[in-house]
Amino acid sequence: MSFELNLPIHWNDHEDIAIGLYDKFGEDFGESKIYRIRFTELIEWVLELKNFVGTREECNEGHLEQIQARWVHEWRDNR
């Protein structure tokens, strides 16, 4: 499900981030691979998303875990 991200995206916009990551990586990342991504890499990928306005300092483990879970749901929905 691809869509244009036009509104500012923050760390708590887990679903929007997950959709953006799915749009960027598509089928390159399946469920097991998504859950094995290092948080340091995930942070960088999120910070690079179009319209993302959050900062590294605002990020926490809870946000990253939620992003991973939503990304897996997005991947499953698109299979």
pLDDT computed for residue 4 by the predictor: 56
Mean pLDDT of the chain: 93
pLDDT at 3 over 60: no
Question: Which DSSP helix (H) or strand (E) runs through 22?
Answer: helix 14-25
pLDDT at 69 over 90: yes
Span 34-62, pLDDT tens digits = 999 999 999 999 999 999 999 999 999 99
pLDDT computed for residue 1 by the predictor: 45
pLDDT computed for residue 6 by the predictor: 77
CATH architecture entry for 14-77? Orthogonal Bundle (1.10)
Q: How many CA atoms lie less than 13 Å away from 47 in the CB half-sphere? A: 11
